[in-house]
Amino acid sequence: MSRLAARFVEFKQSGHKALIPFITAGDPSPDFTVPMMHAMVTAGADIIELGVPFSDPMADGPVIQRASERALAHGMSLRRTIEMVVEFRKDDQITPVVLMGYANPIEAMGYEAFAIAAENAGVDGVLTVDLPPEEAQDCAATLKEHHIDQIFLLAPNSNVERIKKMDALGSGFLYYVSVKGITGAGHLDTDDVKRKLVDIRANTQIPVGIGFGIKDAETAKVISGLGDAVVVGSALISKIEANLDVPEQAKQEISDLLNAMRVAMDNKN
């Protein structure tokens, strides 16, 4: 069983809901990332999603686009992102790390070379926004050989047939995109999410993380009642963007927000 799957089994047994923060590797600068990852774990994160910077992030809103641009300006790349996981693993062998990004950097490196490097670094899962099940067979098979979960996105307009496809090919968890739109979008409707989760649960046993539009402790609590995990990204990166000259302040604000989410999610009342 993969580290991700094992953690979700534990969580399920204890009724714990996972908190998954997302930051872009190398934003605002490369030396920020690994200490921030450790600080997020301290603040209550269970799994970390590390964004791989890409020049053309088509599914991302302006906040994450700018994070990618800042990271690329520092010479960040998929290889350097993997090196950061190596660094992180020196002090943390428990917290699963998921790389999230776009297909082309992986294509450029080659599936096999990427899978080997990621496995050696201690990467647990890979989420590739523009690699739906239709095109993911080869990549998913290669990752599986190297004990890495391929994580797929589900959208509000994904039908039952598609949920079954993700169930067959995906592992680790499924990432439910709670709104039709780009990252950082508003208008999260919890009733819609609740209805869709019924469909999803009926067709897969894979744990479900919910993301897009989760900005504060209150939303995190409500959403954690619906899925197995809550993913928060743009709200954290906004803190980085607001404190570009004072990264320590960004680190503090991100920790505070995650801590507030953790407390709210753990409070069962």
Q: Which two tokens stand for residue 267?
A: 């409070």
Tell me which residues in 105-144 interact with other proteins (CB under 8 A).
Answer: 105-109, 129-132, 134-135
Task: Work out whether 77 is an interface residue with other proteins (CB under 8 A).
Answer: yes
Q: By C-beta, is 12 or 180 nearer to other proteins?
A: 180
Task: Work out whether 223 is an interface residue with other proteins (CB under 8 A).
Answer: no
CA atoms within 13 A on the CB side of 172: 27
Angle at the Cα of 155 (from 150 to 123), degrees rounded to 5? Answer: 20
Task: Work out whether 241 is an interface residue with other proteins (CB under 8 A).
Answer: no
Least distance from C-beta 37 to other proteins, angstroms? 21
Among 163, 153, 226, 162, smallest CA distance to 189 is for 226
Least distance from C-beta 170 to other proteins, angstroms? 11
Least distance from C-beta 171 to other proteins, angstroms? 17
In sequence order, which residues have a C-beta less than 8 Å from that of residue 27 and are 6 or more positions away?
33, 51, 53, 67, 68, 70, 71, 237, 240
Least distance from C-beta 221 to other proteins, angstroms? 26
Q: Which residues are catalytic?
A: 49, 60
Task: Work out whether 65 is an interface residue with other proteins (CB under 8 A).
Answer: yes
Cis upstream peptide for 28 (omega within 30°): yes
Enter the DSSP assignment of 52: P
Whether the Cβ atoms of residue 146 and residue 168 lie closer than 8 Å to each other: no
Q: Which two tokens stand for residue 58?
A: 């088509």
Task: Work out whether 265 is an interface residue with other proteins (CB under 8 A).
Answer: no
Lay out the site mask for other proteins across 151-190 (x = CB under 8 A, - = otherwise): -xxxxxxxx--x--------------x--xxx--x-----
Output the CA torsion sign for 236, 242, 244, 245: negative
Least distance from C-beta 107 to other proteins, angstroms? 5
Task: Work out whether 44 is an interface residue with other proteins (CB under 8 A).
Answer: no
Task: Work out whether 219 is an interface residue with other proteins (CB under 8 A).
Answer: no
Interface with other proteins (CB under 8 A): 53-62, 65, 69, 72, 77-79, 102-109, 129-132, 134-135, 152-159, 162, 177, 180-182, 185
